[in-house]
Structure 1
Amino acid sequence: MSRQEEQPLSGGNVSAAVVRVGDTVRRPAGFWTPAVHALLSHLRACGFTAVPRPLGIDERGREVLGFAPGEAVWPHRFAVVEPTARLARVGRLIRELHDALAGFTPPPGARWNALIPDIGDEIIAHHDLAPWNLVAEDGDAGRWTIIDWDNAAPGTRLWDLAYAAHGFLPLMAHPHWRRTDQDAGARLRTLADAYGLDETQRLALVPLLARRARSMHDFLRARHAAGDQPWATLWREGHGGVWSADAAYTEEREELWQAALLGAD
């Protein structure tokens, strides 16, 4: 591929005009891009390299990131048969990420693309930790990269982890993705153990699982009412109903989640 050749990259519900140029990715920049690049630089400087390398802005005003080789693990590489070891690796990766983020001091005047209110502001959270934003290279033993940092904003570890649980367990009502209650509970325990949650954090996480899913439904409904794109289209396509069903499914099983998280080894 020559330096000028642009290869469109597909995937995602809201990304547009994303291309690969050589070993870089070019994406539309936003008011949040300088803050996000400062955050990514901090993560890489402190040894957390499972994020794209920030490379500034190109001559067309697009943000430039190092290309992350591999494939997004959603849906075909994180299907219902994936090994538990992969889920444990997700939990450890998120813990390492959050620990690295805890040492980040935003630059003066930093602006973030905060879409959904969090319950606090202990870190700058990713806010979209999910299989569709995890790129894996060379199978389970290869490099993993967390992509799509446009919505990074002040938040909390548990709010971020609750969203990750929805996608990676998954906590979904649709028959194709839905697991038995016993399996779903065991997988939640695996994620929490790998992350290293203490008892207090486990108790606090349980109600957030449904609350985080419901926040997605409420966000899409509000943006649809305001006519904001691409959210209005996602609502019309039924994404709001999916999030509502997932929230109800998760809330109905809160006693199960608590038992799984606090049960004896």
Structure 2
Amino acid sequence: MTTTQASRGLTDRSTLVVALRTTVLLAGIAAEAWNLVVVAGEGQRLSEHLGYFTVQSNVLVLVVVAWLLLRPEGRPRWFDALRGATTAYIVLTGLVWAVLLATPEEAFGLSVEFPSFVQHRLIPVLMAADWLLVPTTRPLRVGRCVAAWMAYPIAYLVVSWIRGGLGDGWIPYPFLDPAVHGGLGGLVVPTGQVLLAFVVGIALVATLGRVRWRPRPGAERPAPRIGAGSRAD
């Protein structure tokens, strides 16, 4: 790799990047297939399995990574933002699991089951590496990314509470369950902590994407807007 190539970062066609994304895709498919076999074998409700943020974020990763592998060029202008949001969601999935949901043995030990290892450890780490290795092709606006990317986590909270209160009564995580925290008022701190973590994490991912962006070879850099200066939002 030349000095110029190193300064630009790797590309979607780089051997290392293709290998990394292929690993994510194959491991992610295997882990979710394992989960579905367990769900069917134990008679669990599929609606509950699919209701976990972990499962939803991992499925989104599989869609985005498959798209990256199948179409390394000519993607829509908004794809960088989708890739960034997906990266933020899966990385935060791993962090929230390790901090709030897993036991120390699960979070740091070797006894974790294969699907959990892949979905909570391996894929978050590999997607974070992918975001750092392969620059975006357009500069992201950090403030806009925070506002747009937070829509999904907030919608997830609302839908979970509606389902728990007005639907079948199922709530995916203890930090969302009013019964665990003495009512709705008790959810302010645990839920607020998770939302704050998402805001900070999303802002960090978007900032890294903005700092590291590089135009594709032969593409023109977008002209700066008058009065925009060095704004990051």
Above 0.5 in TM-score?
no
- The structure with the greater share of residues assigned to helix is 2
- The structure with the greater share of residues assigned to strand is 1
Q: Which has the larger radius of gyration?
A: 2
